[in-house]
């Protein structure tokens, strides 16, 4: 019996999906609710940057989980071009420019 993810999850900013082989050390960190035993048919929506597919949620802009790795993985999922010279803020700006996320609104 093999376990299979029922949806996409991010661990340390790295996305894992139903068709991915998840390393044992990573699998230990994913809750039981995210797995199926592989015998059941699972309907999975692949995150995409447009169309009728589901978009994965953007990482937070500040605080835990807001690092450049998370933003690079998010940008890659949504086909937003990045390069090695970009900072986290550059990646966020590129996602905004591509229309993948809304521009950050200053708090009043």
pLDDT tens-place string over residues 42-100? 554 444 444 444 556 888 888 888 899 889 989 888 888 998 899 999 999 999 998 88
Claim to verify: residue 55 and residue 30 sit in the same structural domain: no
Claim to verify: residue 52 and residue 32 sit in the same structural domain: no
Claim to verify: residue 56 and residue 86 sit in the same structural domain: yes
Residue 19 falls inside a structural domain:
yes
Claim to verify: residue 73 and residue 94 sit in the same structural domain: yes
What residues make up the domain containing 60?
48-101
Claim to verify: residue 62 and residue 89 sit in the same structural domain: yes
More confident residue, 80 or 7: 80
Residue 108 falls inside a structural domain:
no
What is the number of domains present in the chain?
2
Claim to verify: residue 63 and residue 22 sit in the same structural domain: no
Per DSSP, the three-state class of 11 is: strand
Beta strands in 1-108 (DSSP E): 4-5, 9-11, 14-16, 35-36
Residue 82 falls inside a structural domain:
yes
Global pTM reads 0.49
Residue 42 falls inside a structural domain:
no
More confident residue, 52 or 20: 20
Claim to verify: residue 60 and residue 91 sit in the same structural domain: yes
- Contact in structure between 5 and 18 (CB atoms under 8 Å): yes
């Amino acid at each position: 019996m093999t376990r299979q993810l029922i949806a996409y999850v991010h661990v340390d900013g790295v996305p894992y999906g139903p068709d991915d082989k998840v390393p044992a050390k990573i699998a230990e960190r994913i809750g039981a609710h995210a797995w199926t035993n592989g015998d059941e048919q699972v309907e999975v929506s692949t995150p995409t940057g447009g169309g009728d597919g589901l978009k994965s949620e953007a990482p937070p802009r500040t605080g835990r989980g807001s690092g450049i790795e998370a933003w690079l993985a998010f940008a890659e999922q949504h086909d937003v071009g990045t390069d090695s010279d970009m900072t986290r803020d550059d990646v966020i700006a590129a996602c905004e420019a591509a229309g993948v996320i809304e521009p950050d609104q200053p708090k009043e």
